[in-house]
Amino acid sequence: MSDFTTVRYTVDGPVAWIEMNRPEKRNAQSVPMTYELNEAFDLAARDRDVAVVVLAGAGPHFSAGHDITDPDRYAEPDHCVGTWAGWDAGGAEGRLAREHEIYFDMCRRWRDFAKPTIAAVQGKCIGGGLMLAWVCDLIVAAEDAQFLDPVVNFGIGGVEWLAHPWELGPRKAKELLMTAESWSAQEAASLGMVNHVVPRDELRDFTQRLAEKIASKPRLAVKLVKEAINATLDAQGQTSAMQTAFALHQLAHAHNVIQFGEPLDPSGIPAAVRPKTTKKED
């Protein structure tokens, strides 16, 4: 159906499944994967037979986050979705352009995707993985799902798409960010972050049935629900708050460069606090 290399795109009835397909990398989000995800969303948008999109991850884990080992991390593609070009600019400019494009603007684009979306999450969902789950309208979690934003350990106050207070409530968001501790699927459900928790081996079928139920409703009405509720979040200040958080995130990157003098490190994480290995547990 497509010649994607990092993403699997399939259609099951009225439901398009966009599956991150780098299980050997715990579905870490590389730059090529970001653009393939975006192309897959566009395919689903243009397919009149697709009413609902599911975003999932192949293998035991949903996503280990952004691929900080990706050698293409600095490579700017020919066609950006936004206008933040010039990723190779010096100072803070290049990183700002790149992260604006591949993290903030991309997440915003998928959050506003004009069909309902469901994230099906199992195993680890870390850092940038949270961003991918959170841009979806609904989240179904397997019982083994575990969520974590660890970036305070790296001298940064949260990932680029700082939806934590909206997803977890401000008090738990502060605790989970300040302590860099993970939370379980059941905790996520109790906080209202996920809609359902299901056994691991039922995740796909449960999510497909939920998507089909939504697909059976009048399609414009479902789209209008999404528009209205996203507009409510915007009226509450979500967009401006997240723009501010993104700017503070860039401040932290710039501080780390000045403080530790490592402008070319692809991880953006100073060696003093960088994990000794990027290998994640199974």
Q: How far is the CB of 52 from Zn ion (least distance, A)?
A: 31
Q: How far is the CB of 92 from Zn ion (least distance, A)?
A: 11
* Shorter beta-carbon distance to Zn ion: residue 60 or 82: 82
C-beta of 165 vs 268, nearer to Zn ion: 268
Dump the DSSP string for 232-277: HHHHTTHHHHHHHHHHHHHHHHHHHHHHH--TT-TT-S-TTTS-S-
The contact set with Zn ion (CB under 5 A) reads 99
On whether the CB atoms of residues 134 and 156 are closer than 8 A, the answer is: no
Half-sphere exposure of 140 (CA within 13 A, CB side): 22
Please report how close the Cβ of residue 226 comes to Zn ion at its closest, in angstroms.
28
Decide whether 99 or 149 has the Cβ nearer to Zn ion: 99
CB-wise, 19 or 99, nearer to Zn ion? 99
Q: Which residue has the tokens 């994480």?
A: 269
Query: Based on CB atoms, which residue is closest to Zn ion, 99 or 101?
Result: 99
d(CA 141, CA 228): 25
Q: CB nearest Zn ion: which residue?
A: 99
**Residue partners of 19: CB distance under 8 A and separation at least 6:** 7, 8, 9, 10, 55, 56, 57, 58
**Cβ 160 to Zn ion, closest distance in Å?**
5
d(CA 261, CA 172): 33
Smallest gap from residue 197 Cβ to Zn ion (A): 30
Instruction: Measure the CA–CA gap between 217 and 222, rounded to whole angstroms.
Output: 7
